[in-house]
Structure formats: C-alpha cells, structure tokens
C-alpha cells in the first residue's frame, strides 16, 4: 500500500500546487478569477449597480430649458436676418426660422451638453448648417457686411459686381455655391454672407477663431468664383475635405 498514491497518478497529489496552476474546477471558489465564477458569486452584479438619481429627469429638463433660453433669441435673430432682413414676408420666414431653430435645438439636446458656451456654439452651428439649406430657391438678395470685401475673396478674375450686382448677393446663388462645402465653411457663409454679421461677431457666435472664419470666407469666395467662371460649384473640391459627409453630425 506504500506505493498506492503513485498508481493513481500525480493529479491526486496536487495539494501543494499554486492555486493558479490547478484546473479551474479544483480551485477553491475564492481563488477562481471573477470571470470563472458563477454569476451569483461575482463581486459586482449588474442588478446592484446604482442607477440614475431620482431627480435626473428634472435636472435634464432644467438644463435643456436653460440651453433654449440662452440660444433662442440669437438663433432666431440670425435666421431672420438671413431669410428676410427687410421684412417682406415676415410671417412665412418667422415660421421657417422657428422650424430651423427647433430642429437645431433637438439635435443639440441629444448630445446632452451642459447649458454653457459650448452648447450655444453647437446650436448656432446647427442653425447655420440647416439654415443654409433653406436658402434653396430663395428669391431674395442681401447686402454684404461692411467688414467683408467680396472683391478680395473672389478668384479667376471674377469681380464683385459679377457675383453681387449692386452690392447684393443672391441667397439662392450663395446656397448653390456652398452646397458641397465643408460644414465649417457653410456655417460661416450663412452667418456672414447671408445674415450679414461681421467676421468677428461670427467667430464669437460659432465658437471659432477670427483667422479660421477668414479662411472659410476665402474658400467661400473661391466657390462663388467657380460658379461664375463656368466651373460647377464644388467641382474642384478642397483637398478632399469638402462634401456632404463633412457636415454637422446629428
């Protein structure tokens, strides 16, 4: 009987093996990795994880209300300046502005942003992006802001009088020229060229640098020039970065 343990093989003499070297079923329950334990033995159970605080819905509504309060007036103001600066069809364009702003607020609210400057910038960028599309077929034209020299933005020998006869830029033409541009350029085109804000003010409203806004205006000028030079707007692209896919994501 002295040699009996060896007849059963080494597996039955493994009491002194480190716990990690033993088969999973031979380890004491406490030594098994958490993922090897039955669900009821795991340290943290899904059902035990804390849920949202009871006042979370109320706090969320309050944050959205605050964001709307901060954004509503400037967003409506920019839209009305672009759509109907001279008040020729106030009822129609006020309703159009409400729809644009409402959609922009809904999209921004989904991102659960705090009601801070970042949220205001996000809303205004969306308002500008959506608003530019509403200029399709718009019959009106607008004067350019004093701080923008259109002649300096244009290329290919195109003159400001060709693009903006009498100093007024057609809104439908602006939309068509910017249709395939990157989102950042479309936003600046709407706020500066359509709504008539100065570049400095547009930078503040959109949360961008003044140099960045100026660069977008330069690209907008090239787009407008292409349309008058017989090149389809957007046909040349801008380093592969333009196009519908670069617009603001919902």
At 5, is the pLDDT very low, low, confident or very high (cuts 50, 70, 90)?
very low
Q: Read off the pLDDT band of 117 (50, 70, 90).
A: confident
In a domain, 1, yes or no: no
Section 201-215 average pLDDT: 96
109 and 155 belong to one structural domain = no
Q: How far apart are CA 59 and CA 19, in angstroms?
A: 50
Q: Which residues contact 123 (CB under 8 A, 6 or more apart)?
A: 67, 71, 75, 104, 105, 108
What is the number of residues in the chain? 250
Nearest residue to 74 via CA among 120, 18, 109:
120
Pairwise CA distance, residues 120 & 67, whole Å: 7
| 9 has pLDDT over 80 | no
Mean pLDDT of the region 137-148? 94
pLDDT score, position 208: 96
In a domain, 86, yes or no: yes
Q: Is the pLDDT at 11 greater than 50, yes or no? A: no
pTM above 0.75, yes or no: no
169: which DSSP letter? E
Q: Which of 151, 153, 171 is nearest to 162 (CA)?
A: 151
Over residues 110-127, the mean pLDDT reads: 83
| Backbone torsion region of residue 163, taken as left when φ is above 0, otherwise alpha when ψ lies between -120 and 50, otherwise beta | alpha
pLDDT reported for residue 139:
94
In angstroms, rounded to a whole number, what is the distance separating the alpha carbons of residues 178 and 222? Answer: 10
Same domain, yes or no, for 166 and 218?
Answer: yes
* Structural domains of the chain, count: 3
Residue 105 in 3-state DSSP? helix
Q: Same domain for 162 and 193? A: yes
Q: Answer yes or no: are the C-beta atoms of 220 and 153 closer than 8 Å.
A: yes
Model confidence at 244: pLDDT above 60? no
Same domain assignment for residues 69 and 86: yes
* Pairing between β-strand 141-143 and β-strand 168-170 as defined by DSSP bridges: antiparallel
Query: pLDDT band for position 241 (50/70/90)?
Result: very low
Q: Are residues 117 and 196 located together in one domain of the fold?
A: no
Residue 178: HSE in the Cβ half-sphere, 13 Å Cα cutoff:
34
The DSSP call for residue 236 is S
The average pLDDT across 189-207 equals 96
Coil/strand/helix, residue 142: strand
Mean pLDDT of 213-235: 82
Mean pLDDT of 192-204: 96
The Cβ-side half-sphere exposure at 105, using a 13 Å CA radius, reads 22
> Is the CB of residue 233 less than 8 Å from the CB of residue 221?
no
CA 134 from chain center: how many Å?
18
Answer whether 125's CB lies under 8 Å from 187's CB: yes
- The larger pLDDT score, comparing residue 31 to residue 114, is at 114
Q: Are residues 159 and 75 in the same domain?
A: no
More confident residue, 75 or 42: 75
The whole domain housing 25 covers: 19-49
Is residue 155 a part of any domain in this protein? Answer: yes
The domain that holds 153 is classified in CATH as 1.10.10.10
Percent of the residues in the chain that have a pLDDT greater than 90, as a whole number: 55
In tens, the pLDDT along 57-93 reads 666 566 666 767 788 899 999 999 999 999 999 999 9
């Amino acid at each position: 009987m002295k040699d009996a343990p060896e007849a059963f093989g080494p597996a039955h003499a493994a009491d002194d093996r480190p716990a990690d070297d033993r088969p999973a079923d031979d380890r004491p329950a406490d030594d098994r990795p958490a993922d090897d334990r039955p669900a009821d033995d795991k340290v943290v159970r899904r059902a035990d994880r804390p849920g949202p605080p009871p006042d979370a819905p109320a706090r969320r509504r309050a944050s959205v209300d605050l964001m709307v309060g901060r954004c509503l007036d400037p967003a409506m103001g920019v839209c009305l300046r672009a759509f109907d600066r001279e008040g020729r069809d106030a009822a129609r364009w006020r309703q159009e502005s409400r729809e644009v702003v409402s959609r922009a607020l809904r999209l921004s609210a989904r991102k659960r942003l705090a009601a801070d400057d970042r949220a205001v910038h996000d809303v205004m960028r969306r308002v500008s992006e959506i608003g530019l599309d509403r200029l399709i077929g718009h019959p009106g034209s607008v004067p350019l802001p004093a701080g923008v020299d259109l002649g300096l933005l244009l290329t290919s020998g195109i003159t400001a009088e060709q693009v903006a006869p009498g100093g007024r830029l057609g809104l439908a033409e602006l939309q068509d020229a910017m249709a395939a541009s990157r989102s950042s350029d479309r936003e600046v085109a709407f706020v500066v060229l359509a709504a008539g804000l100065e570049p400095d003010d547009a930078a503040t409203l959109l949360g961008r640098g003044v140099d960045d806004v100026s660069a977008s205006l330069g690209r907008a000028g090239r787009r407008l020039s292409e349309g008058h030079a017989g090149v389809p707007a957007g046909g040349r692209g801008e380093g592969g970065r333009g196009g519908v896919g670069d617009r603001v994501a919902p």
